[in-house]
Amino acid sequence: MRILNQEIPSAVGQTVTVAGWVHRRRRLAAVSFLVLRDRSGLSQVVVKAPETQAQLDELGEETVVQVTGQVAANPQAPGGAEIVDSVIVPLTEPAQTPPIELWRPTIAAGLPVVLDNAPVALRHPAIRAGWEVAAAALHGFRETIDGFGFTEIQTPKIVGTATESGANVFALDYFGGPAYLAQSPQFYKQTMVGVFERVYEVGPVFRAEPHDTVRHLAEYVSLDAEFGFIQNHRDVLAVLRDVVAGMLAAVGSRAAGALDLLGVKVPEIPTEVPVIHFAEALALAGADPDEPDLSPADERAIGEWALREHGSEFVAVEGYPMVKRPFYTHPQPSDPRWSNSFDLLFRGMELVTGGQRLHRYSDYVAALEARGESPEAPAYGSYLQAFKHGMPPHGGFAIGLERFVARLTGAENVREVTLFPRDLHRLTP
C-alpha cells in the first residue's frame, strides 16, 4: 500500500512504500541520495547498498520508481524523516534526461524554452505552483457562488455569429458553412438569467488577439456570473467582492504550499471595496476630464489612492463612459453619459469588469439602432427573444482566470501561469 511523501514523517520506524519520480540523485563516497517527487512533495531516500547505488546510477532523473524501506528520523531531511534500507523498483523504463533541470530551485531556462517543453517543464515545483493557485481559485469561485444559489451552465463555444463584434473572432468551417468561436458567454448567460435567475459558467473563451503582449491570450478561462433582480451595478460589485474573497480564501487554504514556494501572501479584500466614480478617478489621476478611458498610469494612481486612503489593495471604478462600453450596458440613470458598470482594480491594474445590463426589449432595440445595427440581424435574434419575453434587471461580471492568477502571484507574463498557452505565435504544445 503506497503512502504519499507528505505522510513519511508520521511513519518513523515503519516500513513504507512510496512512489514517484526520481527528482534528483546525489552520489557521495559511501552513500547515494535519491530525492523522490510525488504529488504531495519531495522525500529523501538514503542508499548505502552498493548494488542499489549501482541500480540508481542507471535510473535517470524523471524515471518513475517505487521505493520500499524503513522510515528514520533525520532533522536534515525534508519533513524531518527519510527512507533507509530501501528497495527500488522501476515502474517504467529509465527516463531520458529532461530538457530542463527540474531539480534546481531556480529555473535557468527562459520562458519560450519552458513553454516549448511544457509537458515536462510543468513538473518543476515552482512552475506547477502557478497552476495549483489557479485550481484553488477555481474551487473557491464555484464554492462561493454555488452557496449564493447560482446554477452552473455550460453554453456552446461554437456560435453562428460573432458574439459582441466582428473583430478578433476565430472563424471555422462548420459542416461546410461559416461559424465562429465564442468570445464570451455574455449573450447566453444573460439569456439564462431568464431561466435560473442566477447563473455561472467556467469555460474557455477565444479571442483572435493580434497583439503579442504579456497579458493577452488567444484562449483563456473565463469565470462568468450573471444574476437578476438587482437594483444596480453596486449589487453586482457586492457579489463580486464575496466571490473574490472566496477565491482568495481557497487559494490560502488549498494552495498554501504553492504560495510558500512562490513567496506570495494572499491579499485582503475589504468587506466594502472602496468605490470611486470614473470622473473623480480622472481628476484624481490628473488626467484630462474628457478622456474616455483610464491609462495604466491613471490606474496605478487610483490604486495608490485606495491603499493610502482606504488601506485597500482593491478599488472599484464605476461609471465608465457609455461610449467605451458594449451596447448592452445599462446607463447611469442620473446621467446617461456614464454607465452602471465598473472595473475592479487590484494593485493598480484592472482585474475584473462588471456591471448592470439593459433589461427592457425596447432599450435593446434603441441601443442597437443608435449604434447603426439592426435588431433584426441574425446575431441578435435569439438574444433579443429573451428580452421580448420578460427579463428582470440584471448584471454580472467575468474574471479572467490566468490574469487573476498572474496578478496574485506577481507573474510578469500571463503565460507563466497558463498550462498550454495559445497566442499569435503559439499553437503547441
Closer residue to its own copies (CB): 152 or 335? 152
Strands 171-174 and 81-90 turn out to be unpaired
Confirm or reject binding of residue 349 to its own copies (CB under 8 A). Answer: no
Measured from the CB atom, is 120 or 284 closer to its own copies? 120
> By the 8 A CB rule, do 57 and 28 touch?
no
Tell me: does residue 234 bind its own copies (CB under 8 A): no
**Residue 101 labelled as part of a binding site:** no
- The response to whether 401 counts as a known ligand-binding position is yes
**Min. distance of Cβ 285 from its own copies in angstroms?**
35
The annotation status of 369 as a binding-site residue, yes or no, is no
Residue 23 vs 347, nearer CB to its own copies: 23
Q: Using CA atoms, how far apart are residues 276 and 282, in angstroms rounded to an integer?
A: 10
Residue 29 annotated as binding site: no
Residue of 24, 157, 234, 277 that binds its own copies (CB under 8 A): 157
357 annotated as ligand-binding: yes
Q: In this structure, what is the dihedral angle of CA atoms 279, 284, 285, 286, given to the nearest 10 degrees? A: 90
3-state per-residue secondary structure call for the chain: CECCHHHHHHHCCCEEEEEEEEEEEEECCCCEEEEEEECCEEEEEEECCHHHHHHHHHCCCCCEEEEEEEEEECCCCHHHEEEEEEEEEECCCCCCCCCCCCCCCCCCCCHHHHHHCHHHHCCCHHHHHHHHHHHHHHHHHHHHHHHCCCEECCCCCEECCCCCCCCCCCEEEECCEEEEECCCCHHHHHHHHHHHCEEEEEEEEECCCCCCCCCCCCEEEEEEEEEECCCCHHHHHHHHHHHHHHHHHHHHHHCHHHHHHHCCCCCCCCCCCCEEEHHHHHHHCCCCCCCCCCCHHHHHHHHHHHHHHHCCCEEEEECCEHHHCCCCECECCCCCCEECEEEEEECCEEEEEEEEECCCHHHHHHHHHHCCCCCCCHHHHHHHHHHHCCCCCEEEEEEEHHHHHHHHHCCCCHHHHCCCCCECCECCC
263-302 positions binding its own copies, by CB under 8 A:
none
Q: Using the structure block, give the residue that is written with the C-alpha cell 520506524.
A: 13
CB of 3 to its own copies, least distance (A): 12
The residue among 111 and 307 lying less far from its own copies, judged by its C-beta, is 111
220 or 278: CB nearest its own copies: 220
Least distance to its own copies, CB of residue 142, Å: 7
| CA 239 to mean position of chain CA atoms | 18
422 lies in the site for its own copies, by CB under 8 A: yes
Kindly tell me which of 65 and 282 has the beta carbon lying closer to its own copies.
65
Q: Segment 60-119, which members bind its own copies (CB under 8 A)? A: 62-64, 91-93, 95-96, 98, 117-119
Query: In angstroms, rounded to a whole number, what is the distance separating the alpha carbons of residues 411 and 402?
Result: 10
Verify binding: residue 160, its own copies, rule CB under 8 A.
yes
Rule CB under 8 A: is residue 262 a binding residue for its own copies? no
Query: According to the binding rule CB under 8 A, does residue 368 interact with its own copies?
Result: no
Does 148 participate in binding its own copies (rule CB under 8 A)? no
**Does residue 216 have a known ligand-binding role?**
yes
Question: Per CB under 8 A, does 196 bind its own copies?
Answer: yes
Q: Which of 19, 111, 238, 349 binds its own copies (CB under 8 A)?
A: 19
Residue closer to its own copies, measured from CB, 317 or 386: 386
Q: Does 249 bind its own copies (CB under 8 A)?
A: no
When asked if residue 259 is in the footprint of its own copies (CB under 8 A), the reply is no
Are 31 and 23 a contacting pair, CB within 8 Å?
no
- Report the residue from 7, 197, 242, 350 that binds its own copies according to the rule CB under 8 A: 197
Q: Rank residues 242 and 280 by Cβ distance to its own copies and give the closer one.
A: 242
Q: Does residue 224 belong to the site contacting its own copies (CB under 8 A)?
A: no
The residue from 135, 238, 266, 284 that contacts its own copies (CB under 8 A) is 135
Does 280 belong to an annotated binding site?
A: no
> How many whole angstroms separate alpha carbon 55 and alpha carbon 51?
6
353 is in an annotated binding site: yes
Pairing of strands 341-346, 349-357: antiparallel
Q: Does 164 bind its own copies (CB under 8 A)?
A: no
Does position 184 bind its own copies by CB under 8 A? no
424 touches its own copies (CB under 8 A) = yes
Residue 164 in marked binding region: yes
Nearer of residues 348 and 421 to its own copies, judged by Cβ: 421
* 60 vs 270 by CB, closer to its own copies: 60
CB of 296 to its own copies, least distance (A): 26
- Binding-site members are 164, 207-209, 215-217, 350, 353, 357, 400-403
